[in-house]
Chain A
Amino acid sequence: MTAAPAPEAPTEPMVEAVGVRKSFGRTEVLKGIDLAVRPGEVTCLIGPSGSGKSTFLRCINHLESIDGGRLSVNGHLVGYRQKGDRLHELKPREVAAKRREIGMVFQRFNLFPHLTAAQNIMHAPVLVRGESRRAAREQAAQLLERVGLAGREQHYPAQLSGGQQQRVAIARALAMKPPLMLFDEPTSALDPELVGEVLDVMKGLAGEGMTMVVVTHEMGFAREVADSVYFMDDGVVVESGTPVDLLENPRHERTRAFLSKVL
């Protein structure tokens, strides 16, 4: 297993994973994942389906619990509190409070179908952060404009295309002003001609300095935007490095085999 690619920087990592393990029943899906993401970095996780990359992403905001290792965001353990040499799982309410600092975008958008685009975006700020409806509505309009959907406030998800739904989902996550955004194959459920509009929004976010962890099959996006790329297979990080290193000069046979199929 290779070390994190970038040279030592003085800043603390935003996301740090050391030996993260996770099993579903008897199947170990994460077999000791090491990863570090510094603030402002874009990290892409690539690999065949079933390699554990989506599961690992869901561990970062504790949608999945971990069975071993350490996983911290902003210096705080995710979902656990350390007492002596033991990790105690937090109460659901405490976990919910921590999740507010981590935005997440899903493969299948998961917009709330019974709420309009604006209501989707306003929901958490009003309910969780106690913002006034007026402030939340203004913010929703701004966010919709930012993702190129100005004026679509009153549309229900079913009235929007897949690409538009995913952009609303990004706006919804941004509404909580998270310092970290997780993307779980955000373009995999989209028709090919709609992929570009979502990637453009993500590139814009990266350009503004958002810290992002992106599980993706879009090698072009990884090459263009990522600061580092991790190749995962069968629950381990096979190798990691800068996009140029990993995508053009892979050192491992498994990486080469995977890339030859997708590039």
Chain B
Amino acid sequence: MSSTTPTPTADAPPDRFGHAVHAEAAELETVPLRHWGRWAAAAVVVFLSAGFLWSLARNPNLEWDVVGDYLFEDFVIRGVGITLLLTVVAMVIGTIGGVLVAVMRLSSNPVLRGLSWGYTWFFRGTPLLVQIIFWGFLAALYPQLELGVPFTDITLLSADTNAVVGPMTAAILALSLNEVAYAAEIVRGGIASVDDGQDDAASALGLTRAQAMRTITLPQAMRVIVPPMGNETVTMLKSTALVSVIGGKDLLTAVQSVYAQNYQVIPLLVVAVIWYLALTSLLSVGQFFLERKYGKGHGTTASMGQRWLGRGVTR
């Protein structure tokens, strides 16, 4: 970058202090610091990556033609649909439940607080995979589901567990109930980030606690809640693969059931990987726009390109 001051000619007369050097200085170019190390590092990375991609492309075990054959097969597309459905349903239930559990946690009622704490403690404290297997094998624990009064013989409703809770229901239950626990912690953090003065002002105006939470606190908490919830959605999309252990018909289950028969394990897994990457990339784009919406008036107006370059503007 060269200096933008108008440059006098080299034989300009000296200024009134007789410093001819000033005229020369105006012509000097500024040179930004050159990061030669970065160029060298980039060259090494490009070289190694190209080598790795080249080996992948030429590896006969990947069987790219098989990948291409299966990428848009019906059963794969159906698996993608189920994976998306599981993600959306689990995130919707998880978010609504998370808000409820978070509000319970912040309640002045010790019973609600205790319930909320216990819920989060259990569902965050055990592996998701274990929870999925548990729901999948619920019939082994309770062969019959009954609705009645505990400790009595009064039964209002009764049903065979396996008839009510199939693999799909079990998958949704496991993913949603687990997500509720994580969403609750995120929402709680968001609520805590809202200035106490907001609650004072709402109370002083005569709003009930529920009104203040719904119309004042939660809308402001959204700015803090949205980014990690976007993260949770990406995580959820990948976690749906875990329901393959109970035959959940998701994307991974779909490709597994085919490679179990034709032994094309690697190409079919590559098909799944391509779809997961495509979906998570799409979600990241959606997250960017959501963050921009809720960041309004807070100076988080960096463009997507700026964010990639790590030059996000925060005021």
Complex Cα distance, B209 from A124, in Å, reads 13
B4-12, B32-40, B129-137, B193-201: which lies at the interface = B193-201
- Interface residue B216 (Cβ < 8 Å from any Cβ of A): yes
Q: Which of A63, A96, A111, A173 contacts B207 (CB 8 A)?
A: A96
A105–chain B nearest beta-carbon distance, Å: 9
Known: A108-B197, A112-B216. A173 touches B204 (CB 8 A): yes
Q: Which residues of B contact A100 (CB under 8 A)?
A: 205-206
Q: Is the CB of B201 within 8 A of A127?
A: no
Q: Is the CB of B195 within 8 A of A110?
A: yes
Q: Which residues of B contact A123 (CB under 8 A)?
A: 205, 215
B212–chain A nearest beta-carbon distance, Å: 9
- Interface residue A117 (Cβ < 8 Å from any Cβ of B): no
- Interface residue B219 (Cβ < 8 Å from any Cβ of A): yes
B296–chain A nearest beta-carbon distance, Å: 9
- Interface residue B220 (Cβ < 8 Å from any Cβ of A): yes
A108–chain B nearest beta-carbon distance, Å: 6
- Interface residue A203 (Cβ < 8 Å from any Cβ of B): no
Known: A112-B216, A113-B220, A114-B219. A61 touches B211 (CB 8 A): no
A68–chain B nearest beta-carbon distance, Å: 22
Q: Which residues of B contact A124 (CB under 8 A)?
A: 205-207
- Most A CB contacts (10 A, CB to CB) among B198, B206, B211 go to B206
B12–chain A nearest beta-carbon distance, Å: 47
Q: Is the CB of B206 within 8 A of A113?
A: no
- Interface residue A106 (Cβ < 8 Å from any Cβ of B): yes
A173–chain B nearest beta-carbon distance, Å: 7
- Most B CB contacts (10 A, CB to CB) among A92, A97, A110 go to A110
Q: Is the CB of A173 within 8 A of B195?
A: no
- Interface residue A26 (Cβ < 8 Å from any Cβ of B): no
- Interface residue B3 (Cβ < 8 Å from any Cβ of A): no
From 196 to 247 in chain B, residues with beta carbon under 8 angstroms from any chain A beta carbon are 197-198, 200-209, 211, 215-216, 219-220
- Interface residue B297 (Cβ < 8 Å from any Cβ of A): yes
A52–chain B nearest beta-carbon distance, Å: 17
Known: A106-B201, A110-B201, A128-B211. A176 touches B297 (CB 8 A): no
- Interface residue A186 (Cβ < 8 Å from any Cβ of B): no
Complex Cα distance, B206 from A169, in Å, reads 15
Q: What number of B residues sit within 8 Å (CB to CB) of A? A: 19
Q: Is the CB of A114 within 8 A of B209?
A: no
- Interface residue A99 (Cβ < 8 Å from any Cβ of B): yes
- Interface residue A156 (Cβ < 8 Å from any Cβ of B): yes
B104–chain A nearest beta-carbon distance, Å: 16
- Most A CB contacts (10 A, CB to CB) among B197, B201, B216 go to B201
- Interface residue A104 (Cβ < 8 Å from any Cβ of B): yes
A61–chain B nearest beta-carbon distance, Å: 6
Q: Which residues of A contact B207 (CB under 8 A)?
A: 96, 124, 127-128
A160–chain B nearest beta-carbon distance, Å: 12
Q: Is the CB of B205 within 8 A of A173?
A: yes
* Closest chain A residue to B219, Cβ basis: A114
Complex Cα distance, B200 from A111, in Å, reads 10
- Interface residue A93 (Cβ < 8 Å from any Cβ of B): yes
- Most B CB contacts (10 A, CB to CB) among A104, A108, A112 go to A112
Complex Cα distance, B209 from A127, in Å, reads 12
Known: A113-B220, A113-B297, A127-B211. A96 touches B206 (CB 8 A): yes
Known: A113-B220, A113-B297, A114-B219. A97 touches B200 (CB 8 A): no
Q: Which residues of A contact B201 (CB under 8 A)?
A: 104, 106, 110-112, 169, 172
Q: Which residues of A contact B197 (CB under 8 A)?
A: 106, 108, 110
| CB-based closest 3 A-B pairs | A100-B206, A110-B201, A124-B205
Interfacial residues, chain B to chain A (CB-CB below 8 A): 195, 197-198, 200-209, 211, 215-216, 219-220, 297
Question: Can you name 27 A-B pairs with beta carbons within 8 Å?
Answer: A61-B204, A63-B203, A63-B204, A93-B208, A96-B203, A96-B208, A97-B206, A99-B203, A99-B206, A100-B206, A102-B204, A104-B201, A104-B204, A106-B197, A106-B200, A106-B201, A106-B204, A110-B195, A110-B200, A110-B201, A111-B201, A113-B297, A114-B219, A127-B207, A158-B297, A172-B201, A176-B205
Interfacial residues, chain A to chain B (CB-CB below 8 A): 61, 63, 92-93, 96-97, 99-100, 102-104, 106, 108, 110-114, 123-124, 127-128, 156, 158, 169, 172-173, 176
